[in-house]
Amino acid sequence: TDAIENLAGLAGCPVEPLMNAAIVRKGGAAFTLRGQEMHKGTLRRARVMVCARCIAEDLDADASPWRASGRVQWLLYPIRTCRHHGVALSEIAHEDPRTRVHDFARCLAPSLVAIPRLADEAEAATPSPLEHYLL
């Protein structure tokens, strides 16, 4: 949490939004997200999943990968749908969790040209009761 507070200070932004999107290691296989403790197995690390419609909205008129934002909920293994758009998440990359998995823009870059197609082809999906609870 000290690192997040330092980052907020450097960026000149409030710490709360950063903390709400931070997965914090608590030791061993334990992590917390928004104050909820979870096991490492609930985190999706190698498969990079996105809502293509969310990414398309992020990119809008500029297809630069740094304009697109990963959502913390996409990192949770049980989350398979975008509640906002009502579509299934799409896998855009499969990374070695020891290398680029934390660099969302770099993972997304090779799929940028496919985002409009993925957004159009996204399958309608309804979040499960578990997804609603977790979200």
The predicted model gives 94-106 an average pLDDT of 71
pLDDT tens-digit series, residues 15-56: 998 888 888 888 888 888 888 888 888 988 788 899 999 999
Number of CB atoms found within 10 A of residue 41's CB:
8
Closest of 12, 18, 17 to residue 3, by C-alpha: 18
Of the two residues 114 and 102, the one the predictor is more confident about is 114
Provide DSSP, 2-47. HHHHHHHHHHTS-HHHHHHT-EEEEETTEEEETTEEEEGGGB--SE
pLDDT at 85: 97
**Encoded amino acid at 1, one letter:** T
Alpha carbon 101 to its chain's center: 11
List residues bridging with 95 in a β-sheet. Answer: none
Q: For all residues of the chain together, what is the average pLDDT?
A: 88
User: Exposed, middle or buried: residue 50 (CB in 10 Å: 0-12, 13-18, 19+)?
Assistant: buried
Residue 64 CB neighbours (<10 A): 11
- Asked if 71 contacts 54 with a C-beta cutoff of 8 angstroms, the reply is yes
At 97, the pLDDT band (50, 70, 90 cuts) reads low
In the block, residue with structure tokens 């990968």: 65
Q: Which tens digits make up the pLDDT trace of 59-75?
A: 887 767 777 888 999 99
